[in-house]
Amino acid sequence: MNTNIKFKKANAFRISQEKLRNKALSKGVNLVAPETIFLNKDTVFGKNVTVEPYVVFGPKVKIGDNSYIKSFSHIEGTTIEKNVIIGPYARLREGTILKSYTKIGNFVETKKTSINSKSKVNHLSYIGDTIIGKNANIGAGTITCNFNGIKKFKTNISDNVFVGSNSSLIAPVKLERNSVVGAGSVITKNVKRNSLGISRPIQIGVKNYKRKNKKK
């Protein structure tokens, strides 16, 4: 492709983005630094939506009223209901559904996942092929291990579940209502209602331990 063709394509893209941004602004969307935000022709905004700089919208994204999307987030194939907070640095992939008053924090990736009202995934997590109920809290560093190299499996997290930080949920697995997963656990079996699931090596202490020094 020669330079002239590349220039024409880049210019056409710039013009189309300006039109999409102006359309969104005219409908009351608060685009902070709009020249840094990239929209798709089918992006749908509700009322009183705010989008911070450097957000990219892929195809098939719907954003509900009063939602707030923070900087450097990438969103595609996602339905976002009312009063949702996303980012910064969130990646929402196809098949993600966020119900009202949910929160997706920094460096969280979701795919084929439904998260119900008032649930939170705040930090550094991968949530794929998962259903999360209401009022659940997913701790920092939680991973749903949904792929065994051949087939993908589902994780079901019920209402009012608390998952401690740095936990791995090996699908298929279910965390029943009001259950708790202890931080640092690798969960391979269902956790029953009102129960604690914990899988963690026992910590030992070695007295008078001396570190080995590198030979000079």
Rounded Cα distance between 38 and 16, Å, is 10
Residue 74 annotated as catalytic: no
Is 107:127 a contact under the CB 8 Å cutoff?
no
User: How many CA within 13 A on the CB side of residue 46?
Assistant: 15
Distances 171 to 25, 133, 159 between C-alpha atoms, Å: 43, 17, 18
Which of 62, 123, 134, 192 does the annotation list as catalytic? 123
Q: Which letter does DSSP use for residue 23 in this model?
A: H
Amino acid code (one letter) for 11: N
Return all residues near 131 (Cβ < 8 A) that are at least 6 apart: 113, 114, 154, 155, 156, 157
141 conformational bin, left if phi > 0, alpha if psi -120 to 50, beta if neither: left
Residues acting as catalytic residues: 123
